[in-house]
Each structure stands twice: as C-alpha cells, then as structure tokens.
Copies of this chain bind each other. A is one copy, B any other.
Amino acid sequence: MNQPPHDAARESALLEGCERALEQARRGPLGANPRVGAALLSPSGELLVTGFHRGARTPHAEADALLAARERGLDVHGATCIVTLEPCAHAGRTPSCARTLIDAGVARVLYAVQDPHDIAANGGALLRDAGIDARLWSDALPGSVEGDLTARAAELNRRWFQATRESRPFVTAKIAHTLDGYVAAADGTNAWITGEGARAEGHALRSTVDAIAVGTGTARADDPALTARDAHGRLAARQPRRVVIGESPLEPHSRLAKATHGPEHARPLLYRTRDIRAVFENLRAEHGVEHLLLEGGPRLISAALTLDLVDDLWIHEAPTLLGAGTPAVTGLGIGTLENRLDFDIVPESLHVSGSDLLFHAIPRARQQTPTKGE
C-alpha cells in the first residue's frame, strides 16, 4: 500500500505474468511431462510472449516462449521469464531450459515450484551461477497473493509429482461409457458405445503414450490389437508398448498372443499378477514407461482407482442410456456417499466430439495418505 507507484506497476505486471503463465500451463496435456506455462516480460514490465509445453518430444514452456519471441523479432535481452516450474538443468529430449535462458540473455527468472525430478533439478542454481536473478515466486511476489498463485502452480502437476515420487508412470485411465455408466449392454455388446470422433482421439492418445495396458478379461473379451491407428486403419509411426495384466493366460489365437512371436520391440509384455503397483513400477524402471494408458476393463481400472494409482481419468461419455449392463467401475468398496472418490474436471479438456462428451478429470487431493499395499 505504501510502495511507490513505480513498484506497484512492476508488481502488477509480475502478477499478470504469473496469471498468464498459469493459463498457458493449463493448455498442456496431462502425461509423461508436467504441465508448464511461461510468460516473458520486457525490462519495463510489458508482456512480450507466452508459451507452454505441449507434451513429450516438444519444446519446454520457456523454450516455446523464447521461440515465439524470436519468430516475432522481439528482443528478450534483460527480460523477465515467469514460469510455473523450475527450469530444467539437463539436456535430454530438448536442450536444458536453464542453458537456453542464459543464452537468450534474460535477466530474471521467477519460477513457482521447484522441480522434484532428480535429473532435471537445480536449474535455479545453474541460472544463479550464470548471474541471473533466479528465484521462487514466494521470494518475489507479495505474500498476500503469492500463496494462492504457488498453490495453483503446484496443483497443476500434483499427480505428476505423486507419480514421480512413487517411481511409476503417470497413469491415464480411459473409460468409454454411457450416460448411465455402462461400458457394455446386458448381453456384453460394446461395439461401439462411442463414435468415430472419440475413437480417433483415443488413437491419437495411444500414439503419444509409452504403453497401453489392459486386463486379461478385456484381452479375452475384445481381442484388441492395442495399436495406434489413423482413420484409415493405418498404423501410426509411433506405437505404444502393449501390456496385459492379470492371472489368466491369453487366448492362443488372439492378436496379442500372436504378437508374442513377433519382433522383440513389438511383443506385448505379459504380467501374470494382480499386483498392479509392482507392474507399474517395473514398467517405468525396466521399460522406460513414463505415461501409461489403462484401457480397461472395469476390474483393472477399479483396482487402480482403489490403490490411488490413476492420475488422470479420461472420460468418453456417449449420450446413451442402457439401464443395465457392465458398469464402468466396480468393487470400489464404497458403501456411503461420504467415502466417494472425487475428481476435478479439467475445464480446458471438455468438448463434444461427434455425439460424445470428452473430458479429463483429476483425482481430488485425498485427506488421508492412500493405502500403499494391495
């Protein structure tokens, strides 16, 4: 209140930059990488450009913003970069963001949350060693608003941080169900509950994840190929690893069973167990799976939900009523409303595709620590 007007304007520009960075971050997909947004301000506090991370194998948010600035011929020398996550320090799929920011000549970097990922961490230190004023939002913004902004940045990737801590992939569970919650009619028919648009989006996601898993029940009932295909049935260039989890064997003539005799990289991974946490950990440790898509059936997805292993629920809802059939989830052991599993819809993801409703929903933070065991 008693600050000189110049500082008030500067502060207001920073807060606006934080809001824009958060807004950008929410545009990114849920998956192998965290959702991150960035905003570049000129030395006088003017918003230059924004950027966000579009998912694995695309530029990080800071790089995306710098790229946008270069395309528009904007001078970023002496600029302030506001970003929702600490810039990474290691060069992996993309160059280190800390290095990119140093090379670009920015004067100041404000990041909301420290990167919890061991390899990438310490981007802040690298920036400071290069003489850049790099600090957390909590060290740069007024306390009255900083807490809320930082909390929103942390919430963006709460489940990604959790998956990282638990040494397992980020898990997306896809459910294609009717308005009344069924994935198949009473006689088992389920082709197709959702329409072509939804199926095309499903295949698009398949081509970005590292692995797709189904339970043995679904493998037997649907005989799926679990490949990523385009509208003409052609295989996508990038194929996910195929995973089958459960105690029953595959049908010998099923597509997945046949693929076990194919080339090594395309062989399905068969886990004859019900310990899905151990499977998920193994998929990350042994097969580099950072984003796992669960495509059913209800038993596998329900087991993952019960163990709090679903980071992202991807709902494909057909505006259809059946009144009876196979429920999308089952056996959660919930007897009363108070014990329900709550999610938050990702509003940016909500849309109608063909006739169907598609959206992502993230598990709401639970009060208690989830059970770790079986």
Contact = CB atoms under 8 A, between A and B. Distances in A.
Nearest to A361: B319
A13 interface: no
Given A179-B361, A181-B182, A352-B350, A319 B335 contact: no
Nearest to A181: B181
Interface stretch (A84-92, A188-196, A244-252): A188-196
Contacts of A342: 319-320, 355
| Chain A interface residue bracket vs B | 35 or more
A53 to B, nearest CB: 24
B328 A185 contact: no
B322 A180 contact: no
A337 B305 contact: no
Contact of A321 (B187, B329, B352): B329
Contact of A332 (B313, B324, B350, B359): B324
B336 A329 contact: no
Contacts of A109: none
Contacts of A315: 179
Interface in A303-344: 305, 313, 315, 319-324, 327-344
B340 A185 contact: yes
Given A337-B185, A350-B352, A319 B332 contact: no
Nearest to A343: B319
